[in-house]
Chain A
């Protein structure tokens, strides 16, 4: 009887931990493989422990070039999409205008459309318009699919904000601009930061849309894809592990800096971090 009670109370947690194991296992493997000296170019199995990969992460120069390119694209796409999306979020939450449902649809549809379709349709457009594909077409594509996520993230924060705070500011002699600068912006900022982080992670990791619009430009995911056919250099796992570590550090660091920062970090986490 006691055992049954105990089981009844705990089984959900047990299942949850198993599922978490399933979710984190590949990360452990990636981290492990980053210390592996593969037996052959096409082997994915453990062979021999080594620190070489960490010592010389850029041994494959192409790969590091691709990482840098992904970062450049990610930064530009993040800045542009965060600005565009934040402006739209303000219009949606704070203003009445005609055509609201049309705009909502335009923002929602990219999130409900398979990436494959967005990728191929942009490709069709660029080809039809004779636009050569490369760095900038990737940026254009990334901004396109990030904007909706930014709108949604900032909108949630803005909608949760108490309008009376702005009224109180105006009541206390703050002009429209001062109200925005002193009250609205600081209070919405965590949402904007969360949106920007989300946009960067979406852009940095995007493969499908990029694949159709990259021309000969190689981003990090494109590099991994290409290498998967030819044999993966183990340094790829170093980059994968490092990305993971940096992200964890960011989360950890922000949670050390007081409650407010921790809440902001959680907001980032709890916003489903986009697509693969």
Chain B
């Protein structure tokens, strides 16, 4: 398989100013990005933000209103779907109900006039651990098995790019984690470019080399998962990928290597390389796990910045305890404390000082009227929500 992948000519997938309008509604808005060959690329975004539409344009199932899809140097924008070296794992699999598993998997090979498909199909079924299921119908398989058939059916064609549209969305949590590992293993093994669409940020972060966060038809940020998480570009990304405490303030220019911020009457600073702006309305952001709680201002380590407050809620979630701290000006911050056995738990009502290392903070642009934002506690996206 590795061999086959290397035979295909080198080619990155490039989307250039891709736009799709349905009537007056713009589903995909001037999207440009490059997916390097062999990458595991995740397109992450909430339901309805245009992920499926983007994939469909790459697959040729939807004609872009404007813009181009390029594979290497080849412009494939106008090619019919069956002329593109691209295959798709559909959102609800779209297995052919009247064909058995073997014929489902063999479908692409047969359409290209390949007669001897038996061995290849067997090898592919083995790859997805479905040996012996060839004669069954799709309806006789569980969701996870159907998902793997859909994968095998696409992979057997050795496409240059494999598109996966929320392939794990219909699976329960445990199976989903299992399949994530499986998918990652297979991608490493076959070395094909994967474009994986998901609305599950954890899925995107654990699987992909590169994540693009999409919002309302546009890419908000693109990069390695850790980079995006540690230094989000916008408030949307800061909240969509993980959770954030965002304090509404005003950036007040440089002071040496730092950018100064005033928020709620207090002065803070962030390193200049963690500030997306220097002047004007800004959000000062700190991730909850990087917000520490101390008994009082005197206990704050040197170099940390802090705000005072009162614990209003404490949820014990096993590995950590998640606190809500109400500040003097009334908004709430969340702080996660690892249950490492050091230090006791704080009771509701305890006055505390929340502090952070400014090197972990970040400064983002803020629209004029926006106030503080704290992602509410325990906001796992609902399992199985499909778009």
Contact = CB atoms under 8 A, between A and B. Distances in A.
Query: Do A and B have CB atoms closer than 8 angstroms in the complex?
Result: yes
B61 A174 contact: no
Nearest to A167: B61
Interface stretch (B63-71, B81-89, B300-308, B366-374): B81-89
Q: Chain A at the B interface: mostly helix, strand, loop or mixed?
A: helix
A187 B95 CA distance: 12
A171 B111 contact: no
Given A173-B108, A173-B157, A168 B96 contact: yes
B107 A172 contact: yes
A165 B86 CA distance: 16
B92 interface: yes
A183 B94 CA distance: 11
Contacts of A168: 88, 90, 94-96
Nearest to B159: A171
A261 interface: no
A175 B82 contact: yes
Contact of A164 (B92, B98, B154): B92
B318 to A, nearest CB: 40
A9 interface: no
A187 to B, nearest CB: 6
Contact of A167 (B94, B108, B153, B154): B94
Interface in A202-240: none
A183 B111 contact: no
A162 interface: yes
Nearest to B81: A170
Contact of B111 (A167, A178, A186): A178
Contact of A172 (B80, B91, B111): B111
Contact of A170 (B82, B96, B153): B82
Contacts of B157: 172-173
A186 B99 CA distance: 10
B22 to A, nearest CB: 14
B112 interface: yes
Contacts of A164: 90-92, 94
Interface string A163-203: 01101111111110010001100110000000000000000
A176 to B, nearest CB: 8
B112 A171 contact: no
A172 B98 CA distance: 16
A174 B92 contact: no
B96 A171 contact: no
A169 B61 contact: no
A170 B90 CA distance: 12
Interface string B49-84: 000000000011100000000000000000011100
Contacts of A178: 111
B374 to A, nearest CB: 40
A174 B113 CA distance: 10
Contacts of A187: 97-98
A171 B59 contact: yes
Nearest to A163: B94
B82 A171 contact: yes
A172 B61 contact: no
B166 to A, nearest CB: 13
Contacts of A169: 96, 107, 111
A187 B96 CA distance: 9
B81 A171 contact: yes
Nearest to A161: B97
A165 B94 CA distance: 5
A170 B94 contact: no
Contact of B108 (A162, A172, A175, A183): A172
A154 B60 CA distance: 28
B194 to A, nearest CB: 15
A198 to B, nearest CB: 22
B98 A186 contact: yes
Given A164-B92, A178-B111, A171 B97 contact: no
Contacts of A162: 94
A1 to B, nearest CB: 46
Contacts of B61: 167, 170-171
A165 B88 CA distance: 12
Given A164-B92, A178-B111, A171 B87 contact: yes
A173 B111 contact: yes
Interface string A75-113: 000000000000000000000000000000000000000
A178 B83 CA distance: 13
A52 to B, nearest CB: 49
A263 to B, nearest CB: 11
Given A164-B90, A167-B81, A172 B153 contact: yes
Contacts of B81: 167, 170-171
A171 B159 CA distance: 11
A23 B336 CA distance: 72
A173 B60 CA distance: 12
B80 A170 contact: yes
A165 B96 contact: yes
Given A167-B61, A186-B98, A187-B98, A173 B92 contact: no
A145 to B, nearest CB: 32
Residue picked from A162, A169, A172, most chain B C-beta under 10 Å: A172
Q: Name the residue among B61, B91, B153, B154 with the largest chain A CB count within 10 angstroms.
A: B61
Contact of A183 (B59, B82, B96): B96
23 contacts: A164-B92, A165-B97, A167-B61, A168-B88, A168-B95, A168-B96, A169-B96, A170-B80, A170-B82, A171-B59, A171-B88, A172-B82, A172-B87, A172-B111, A172-B157, A173-B111, A173-B112, A173-B157, A174-B82, A174-B111, A183-B96, A186-B98, A187-B98
Interface of A: 162, 164-165, 167-175, 178, 182-183, 186-187
Given A168-B90, A168-B94, 6 more contacts: A162-B94, A165-B96, A170-B60, A170-B80, A171-B88, A183-B96
Closest 5 CB pairs of A and B: A172-B108, A173-B111, A168-B94, A170-B81, A164-B94
